Chain A
Amino acid sequence: EAEVAQSPRYKITEKSQAVAFWCDPISGHATLYWYRQILGQGPELLVQFQDESVVDDSQLPKDRFSAERLKGVDSTLKIQPAELGDSAMYLCASSLEASSVEQYFGPGTRLTVT
């Protein structure tokens, strides 16, 4: 069964450093989501892509976070510089299209900022 791939699974970085996460959605899925999940909370949508275009990035802290999906397939989420408060699980999900009710989640990247 096709799955959403994410790497790395775990990342420890020092504050003020740059960090990047990668996501490869299920083949053929046009919509890709990045979520941030702080410990003890539910996931929060950071950015939504439809193909290579950003549909919603209203919750993305744009002063330090950036996301791209250049060819409309895989995606990279970057944080520069990382802050202690960025420690969280970063989840990627994909769906066939923006109006799909099924989102398929990857295993996540657990980020610790020291």
Chain B
Amino acid sequence: AQKVTQAQTEISVVEKEDVTLDCVYETRDTTYYLFWYKQPPSGELVFLIRRNSFDEQNEISGRYSWNFQKSTSSFNFTITASQVVDSAVYFCALMDSNYQLIWGAGTKLIIKP
């Protein structure tokens, strides 16, 4: 079965702290894609990153970084030096061989000033 688990329902940190959001997935497909989206209180989904299953290179984009490990079926997201504007719900998603997105339940991130 295809499944995405975001075990952290809510995380609260003080501004400037580093924070890691966990994502564990299950799939039988050998070719798949993993995504992270941000959903601020306004509700729109903001695309952050897409990785395919053959590319395990870690990605860094400014204060954001992603760690993809096939051995543990994880695709974790780290925010360095968090800011209040990072407060949002973050979703991890898996695109299966039918090109349909399977979503995690999301992690609500609260950054306190």
Contact = CB atoms under 8 A, between A and B. Distances in A.
Interface string B42-61: 11110100101000000000
Contact of B105 (A40, A98, A105): A40
Contacts, number: 43
B93 A100 contact: no
Contacts of A107: 42-44
Interface string B94-107: 01000111011110
Interface of A is mostly: loop
Nearest to B6: A42
Contacts of B95: 101
A40 B43 contact: no
Q: How many residues of B sit at the interface, in one of the four size bands?
A: 10 to 19
A56 interface: yes
Given A101-B33, A105-B45, A108-B44, 15 more contacts: A41-B106, A42-B4, A42-B93, A42-B103, A42-B106, A43-B45, A48-B100, A56-B100, A99-B99, A101-B95, A105-B47, A107-B43, A107-B44, A108-B45, A110-B43
Interface of A: 40-45, 48, 56, 89, 91, 98-103, 105-108, 110
Interface of B: 4, 33, 42-45, 47, 50, 52, 91, 93, 95, 99-101, 103-106
